[in-house]
Every structure is written in C-alpha cells, then in structure tokens.
Structure 1
Amino acid sequence: MKAITIDEFGGPEVLTWTEVEDPVPAPGEVVVDVAASAVNRADVVQRVGLYPVPEGESPYPGLEVSGRISALGEGVTGRQVGDEVAALLTGGGYAQKVAVPAGQLLPVPEGVGLVEAASLPEAVATVWSNVFMTAGLKEGETFLVHGGTGGIGTMAIQIAKAKGARVVTTVGGAEQAARARELGADLTVDYRTEDFAEHGPFDVVLDIIGGQYLERNVRSLNADGRLVVIGLQAGLEAPLNLADLLFKRLSVFGTTLRSRPPEQKAAIVSEVRSQVWPLIESGAVRQVVDRSVPMAEAAEAHRIIEAGGHFGKLLLVNE
C-alpha cells in the first residue's frame, strides 16, 4: 500500500506519498481500506516534531478515517469484511489501509456518505469526551468554544446546541460569524476586535488556544465553572491568579485524546454512538467539510490548514 510518511520534521513538503508495508491486524483489530481521512491540527503539530507518536503506534499521520473492513483479527466479533465504518485512530490514517482496534469503530451514520464520514470520529469524540464526559455541560448552561469555524468548533457548536446549552464562540471576522450562527451559535465574538471575557460568565469553556488565553478563560468562568484545555496554539505557559480558582470553585482540565489507552477510547466511542450518532442521523448535527484533496496531496491540505480561513474539515481522499 501507499501512505504519507514523515521522514524528517519540517514544512508541508516533508509529507511524502510512499510505498510501505500493508498493516496486519493484531488480535482485537480490523484492517480498514481507507476511503478518506481528515486533517487535524494535531497532524500539523506531529509534522513539525512537537507531537510524538505514542510508542508502538503507526508513524503515519491521521487520527480518523472512513472506509470498508478488509480483514479481521483474532477474536473480533460483530464485524464483517465489507462493513462500512468510520474509525477513531491513534495514527496511520493518511494511508490506503490502516489497522484499528475494533472498539474504536463506528458505523457510517445513515444519510452520510462514506467519504464524508471521515470528518466525524475525531471531532465528535473530542467534543463529547471533553465537553460532556469531563466538563459535564448541562442543558441551560452557557458554553464557550474558541475557534468556532474549525473542525472542533463547528462540531462543538452543534452538539452543545442540540443538548440545550447557550453557545458562544470566538471567530475571526463577519463571514465566519455568520457561518457560526448558521450552525447554532447564539453569540459570536470577533477575537480580533473584542475581548471574549467581557461576554461571560460561562459555565464551560473549551479552549484550543492555550497560552495567554488561560487568564481570561478563568476570569470569564461562572462560579463552579469548568475549563478544558485541549490545544496549545498560543503557547505552553501563562500566569494564573489562583484566587480565581478558589473563590469561584473552578475546575481546570487538560486533556488529549490520542494518548488515551484503547479501553478509554472504546468507552468514548460507545457514548458517541449512543449520544451523538442519533443527532447526526436526525439532521440535528451535520458534518462540515470545507473541501476534499487527494490523499497524495496531503502537503497542500496542510498548507490550507496553516493559512487558516477554512470552514470545518479538510478531507484526504483515496482515489
């Protein structure tokens, strides 16, 4: 098969479409013939050398795919060769084939195309595990998500709104604000001209930015508020007044999805199947795809991601 390899860290040009060995399913795994993968910010961070591959996992980028099962490992039940699936991965999605633990598979939702389904597993699992399983967002609470027009943001807006929250998001400009409101955002805040903290208080904040956003995130939280930090685009460090945490009884969580053990990922995927897949199949939540790019041209997709301005996910398609 062929896969996108990273032979040295650097710019998008280091992504190379290369002949590699086919994956073999370990016990409890299946092999999926990949129809499409999706580009995540984590793939970019891996490419530049700041997001190491977990030990023993595929070195190829790609944290989610859709496709058809082509082989079953020992002990796999309830799956058949030919099943159309979407899958949450620890890596290896930028390829023609990938081995996946069976617990990380999802059926392709009714009404969603096989290729488009690749846009769902990572974003949905990230939002559900952090906003609902960790932060416990409840109906009637106010939720802030930073970066409302990216892959995570577009999904977070929709799921939180479908679950009865008031949704606020930061965006970059009037066009992005309009599109975020179309997805269900009650309020948009232009991060270039406004201070989002002035639009609080918020009960839950999902932060992909990190760095200097920490102090304002904490300051903007309601009593008993919860902040979940899942990205570090603005840096690794920031000052924090601990009195804010104490007097308002705040909780601050830092999480990643990729490094969780398979049993945790399987538990998240199970909840996604029962709690979010019905919302997708009913049309209350939809996949948001900016554009598709041939898998061999992954470097171009990374350039688009780094330039910004896209809306939703970019897909890499095997042709």
Structure 2
Amino acid sequence: MKAAVVYKKGAMPQYSEFPEPIVQSENEVLLCVKAVAITNLDKGKASGKHYSSENDSQNGFVVGSDAVGLLEDGTRVYARGISGTIAEKAIVEKNRMVLLPDGISDATAAALPNAVAGSAMALKFRAGIKAGETVLINGATGFTGQIAIQLAKYYGAKKVIVTGRNEQTLQGLLKLGADEIVSLNQDSESFIARIKEIQDHTPIDIILDYLWGNPASLILKALQGNGSFTHKVRFVTIGAMAGESIELSSGTLRSTNLQLLGSGLGSWTKEEVKLLFLEILPEIFALAAQNKLQVNVEEVVLADIEKAWDLEVSDGKRLVVII
C-alpha cells in the first residue's frame, strides 16, 4: 500500500510503499482510509520531540494518529489508529470509533477530533466550565483555538477573550464568537496591564493556554494578587507553541486563587476518554453536519505528503490529507 513513512526521526515523511497492516486481535479492525488531518501531535511524534513518540524503527513507521475511512461493510467512521493512519489502510480500535452522520465531509470529520480533544476535554473535564463564565483563550488564532472559541460559547460561556499575534486573523475571531481580542504584539507591560484591566472588570474564570512560554508567564504575572481576596481562575495548559518553560513566582501562587492544570495525552482518565468517543465527538460531528460549527480545512493528496508536511496554511486552517 502507499503511505507516508518516516524512516528516521526528524526526517520528512516519504510517499512510499509499505506493508499493509494486519489485524491481530478482536479489538482491532481494518480501515480503508479516506482522510487524515496533519496535526502538531503528528509532527511532534514524527520528529521524536513529543513525549508519546515511538521508538526508532529500522523499517520506518507510518505517521498519523487517527483517520476517517470505511470499514469492510462500507460504514463510514472516525477512528483512532493502532497503526499509522496516513496510508491507504490502517488498523484502528473498535472501542475508539465514531459513526459519522450524513452531511459532514471526510475532510471536516478528519480535521475536528484533535481540536475537540484539545478544547472540549480541557473545558469540560479540566476547567469544568459552567454557563455564564468568562473564558480567556491564549493563542486562539490556530485551528484548535478557533474550535475552542465556538465550543466555549456552545458550553455556555458568557464572554470569550482571545489573544494572538496575527492581527487579521484575530479580527476574524470576532465572527466565530470571540467578544474581545488582545494582541500579543504589544510590549510586555502593556499586555500585563490589559489583562489586569480585564480581570478587574470582568473576572476571568478559565484560561485555555495553547502557547505556554512567555505569553503564559505574562498572564500569570498579571493575575498576581496584593494580599486581598482574588477571583478563582482555572488555568489549563494544552500546548507549548511559545516554549516548554515558563517563569512563575511563588508569590503569584500564594497571592492568587489559582488552579494550574494540564490537558493532554496521559492526563485524561479512561472514563473521560470513553466519554470523548461516546458523547463529545458524536455531538460535535452533528453540529458540524448541521453547519453550526465553522471548520476551515485545506486539502492535499497523499502523493504530495513530502511537499505538504511543512506547508504553512493560512488563517488557522487544518491541513487534511485526502486518500
């Protein structure tokens, strides 16, 4: 079969022939793959930099973590892969499959799940979002950030504040449901002052952070109290696009009613992952099928994987490989 194969960690995936995977247990099933999104998770695992990266394989490995495709009986599903999924065929888990509704394209269905895991899981299970709360999304101009805006509003957020560097894309987030934008292009003191002002007038309940690094440090500094009572904030880190480390003073933690949490592979419980497949993804696939969720994708074909892998897509689109 044709597949996107990495022969050495850090190398570009190659469009190559690769042995067809073989079902080895009753919990596995063969999927004829139709569409796969290229995510930061996939890129991190291929480079060996993500904490869930595979060990080196002499024969190479197929990239891709999930897929949309057809089962042997023609049923169209989204599923998590056991084998790599950017290939003509993949082995997937029976208990991590979701039937797809009519009205949703293969590309849209492939694009959504990683972003849903990176937003809904944080909102529902880490932050415990309640109707009427205020949510700040740090680094909202990417694809997952855009989905997070829409889901925060769907789950009842009263106000959604977003940060980012791309001024044009930031303005576009207002059409997705964002109520206020804060540019990361301003100097540190001005940014801190703006977050303080927001916190004083419309206290932030939840922060979804996709950047970490210096932007997260600045937000946490802005939240630091002065000895009086403070508003409780649940800060959930989901990504590290701005760096793996932050500067956090003991004074910030001691002076602020702050919960610092993480949301990602390994942090979720088995029950939470089960709910992702049984309830959350089906609900959000249905929203997209009814055109109640805006999903921006750019499509490429498998044969062009080497050119597409590092392709810069504009306006927070998700790149999807069509097979």
TM-score, structure 2 as length reference: 0.83
- Which deviates further from its counterpart, 187-196 or 225-234? 187-196
Write out aligned runs for 1:76-91 (5 A).
81-89=73-81
Residue type matched to 1:315 in 2?
Answer: V
Match of 1:227 among 226, 235, 244: 235
Partner of 1:23: 21
Number of equivalenced pairs: 303
Deviation, structure 1 residue 220: 4.6
CA distance in 1, matches of 2:269, 2:248: 31
Partner of 2:179: 186
- Residue 36, structure 1, aligned to residue 43, structure 2: no
8 Å contact from structure 1 (residues 111, 281) kept in 2: yes
Are residues 239 and 149 of structure 1, via their aligned partners in 2, closer, same or farther at CA, if it must alter by over 3 Å?
closer
Deviations 1:155-190 (A, max 9, x none): 101111122211122233332023211211111222
- Residue 300, structure 1, aligned to residue 307, structure 2: yes
Residue type matched to 1:303 in 2?
Answer: D
Deviation, structure 1 residue 300: 2.5
Deviation, structure 1 residue 263: 6.2
In structure 1, runs of 5+ residues without a counterpart are: 71-80
Partner of 1:244: 252
8 Å contact from structure 2 (residues 138, 209) kept in 1: yes
Report the 3-state secondary structure (helix = DSSP H, G, I; strand = E; otherwise coil) of the residue aligned with 2:309. helix
Are residues 300 and 137 of structure 1, via their aligned partners in 2, closer, same or farther at CA, if it must alter by over 3 Å?
farther
8 Å contact from structure 2 (residues 36, 321) kept in 1: yes
Match of 1:266 among 274, 281, 292: 274
Percent sequence identity over aligned pairs: 27
CA distance in 1, matches of 2:154, 2:266: 26
Report the 3-state secondary structure (helix = DSSP H, G, I; strand = E; otherwise coil) of the residue aligned with 1:102. strand
Partner of 1:129: 121
Report the 3-state secondary structure (helix = DSSP H, G, I; strand = E; otherwise coil) of the residue aligned with 1:21. coil
CA distance in 2, matches of 1:244, 1:275: 38
Structure (1 or 2) with the larger CA radius of gyration: 2
Are residues 128 and 211 of structure 1, via their aligned partners in 2, closer, same or farther at CA, if it must alter by over 3 Å?
same
In structure 2, runs of 5+ residues without a counterpart are: 224-229
Are residues 261 and 227 of structure 1, via their aligned partners in 2, closer, same or farther at CA, if it must alter by over 3 Å?
closer
Are residues 67 and 231 of structure 1, via their aligned partners in 2, closer, same or farther at CA, if it must alter by over 3 Å?
same
Report the 3-state secondary structure (helix = DSSP H, G, I; strand = E; otherwise coil) of the residue aligned with 1:99. strand
- Residue 106, structure 1, aligned to residue 98, structure 2: yes
